[in-house]
Amino acid sequence: MRTWRTFAAAGVSVAALSIAACAGTTSTASNTTASTSTASATQTQPTDPASMTDEQLRSYVVAREAITPLQESFATQTPEQRTQTTAQITQILQSHGLTPQQYNAISSHAAQDTTFGARLAALTPDTFADANLRAFAQASVEIDPITRDLGTATPEQQAQATTQIREILERNNLDSTTYNAIAARAQAEPAFAQRIQTIYREAQAQDDSNGSGE
């Protein structure tokens, strides 16, 4: 059976735009970052993802669903739109009892630690449609060869690989968070990995059938 790998397992992280980055590009940290608006209220909460409870991680999962679309459109927004987006992200984090530091720490740790990524994936509701899994499988065929040798790649080569991976994800209508979540769950759950494999084979068979009919 094919092995589905996260970016981290291959030695590269293509994480979504961090919360701090969203806020930092619009104004000074004291004015617009979610850090200043939420950190004081939750300063005593742990920022080490490994020590967080399942309840805290579930809060992250729910918040991520709302934040990811905002992050993806951030780079093309006007300064006014970015200010509005930052305020939305701040509100989402506050409503789920998270600080930007906690949110970014979880995202980073999930990309770097496959065991933690699998734990997070297990807390994620099974909302992946067959179309998502088909897109994931197709993207992984292109991404795996790129990431395989990144452990010995130069910084320039890693930057180039990151750009290539982003382009592949965009072409398959996926974001890095979804891709890594699917990969982590496939590593943790053989039945889920088999589901992806079946969908991938069916897609290949369909493509072959369409090709032979031309």
Say if residue 162's pLDDT is above 90: no
68/64 Cα distance (integer angstroms): 6
DSSP state of 10: G
**pLDDT tier at 4, thresholds 50, 70, 90:** low
pLDDT tens-digit series, residues 5-25: 655 444 444 444 455 555 444
Contacts of residue 112, Cβ cutoff 8 Å, sequence gap at least 6: 8, 13
Query: What number is the average pLDDT over the span 82-102?
Result: 90
Write the pLDDT tens digit of every residue in 125-156.
766 888 989 999 999 989 988 888 777 888 88
Predicted pLDDT at 135: 93
pLDDT band at 167 (very low <50, low <70, confident <90, very high): very high
* Closest C-alpha among 190, 35, 178, 185 to residue 107: 178
